[in-house]
Amino acid sequence: MCKKLFFLISFVLALGLAGYASAAVDANIPAASTPPVIDGIKDDAWSASEKHPISYTVKGGFSPSESPADLSGSWWALWDSNYLYVFVDINDSNLCNNSAGESWNNDSVEIFIDIGNDKLKAMGPDDYQYRVAWNADPNVKGLEEKRHSPASVTDVNFVVLTKGVGGEAGGQGTGYTLEIRFPWTTLNVSGRPDVVGLGKLLGFDVMVNDNDRGYRETQLAWHDATGDAWRNPSLIGTVQLAPGLSKSKAYKPNPRPGNTGVPSGPSK
């Protein structure tokens, strides 16, 4: 009887460890000790978050950036019981919004969120793709969401600040910052009480679109280098809602597996 019980306990522990190992975390999002002010300026509240470079050139016909000044960026994130906060800092030597086509052809930031980290192969009700142009006006329709549901942008607040001189005709610039907060009440449309809180996992990614010649020439990503996340959210990274951290206790995530695959169609 004791031997059977021992094997049963060992089997349960093995299953538990296997499940833990499969939940690889690419980054931690620390809790905010003080909510950041949404003004496009990276204040002291962001010192608790690590810097995450957006460094993959998306595959599928895009050109790599010529230099960090030409195109580069990083993101930071925080959370509390009410909001998910994201700060994105983009270097872009030529700020453009002169494409008459789809908005993803213009200079912009895209933020992907998968509530519950479900890793579905197609966009579900708790999967989001937000897009904010470098010159978006928060007082008008400056925030897009791929699901095209009015409720998905409810009380989502953001500010974009340019770091240099830019214009729709392609004026020179040094880039822009985006500071944005997402209410959990807006993101968790399914009302699942088990998906938001300390230790919970989210699917997450940040991408940058670069228009230098009237169309999207380059796209950078933090995690999904295939460019297919707009229709396959299983490709985005995994982040964990963590306790507040200081700069001296920076979180070291598990190594990210290599990104493979080329999208069969344009990333939108």
Pick the closest to residue 204 from 160, 157, 253 (CA basis).
253
In tens, the pLDDT along 120-167 reads 999 998 999 999 999 887 776 678 887 667 789 999 999 999 986 543
CA atoms of 159 and 198, how far apart (whole Å)? 27
Q: What is the pLDDT of residue 132?
A: 93
In tens, the pLDDT along 31-56 reads 999 999 999 999 999 999 999 999 99
Q: What is the pLDDT of residue 165?
A: 54
CB neighbour class for 189 (10 Å; exposed up to 12, middle 13-18, buried from 19): middle
Query: Element (H or E) spanning 91, and its range?
Result: strand 83-92
Domains of the chain (ranges; CATH) run 26-249 (2.60.40.1190)
Q: What is the pLDDT of residue 164?
A: 64
- Low-confidence stretches of the chain (pLDDT < 70) are 1-23, 100-101, 140-141, 147-148, 164-173, 245-268
Q: What is the pLDDT of residue 130?
A: 95
Q: What is the pLDDT of residue 101?
A: 67
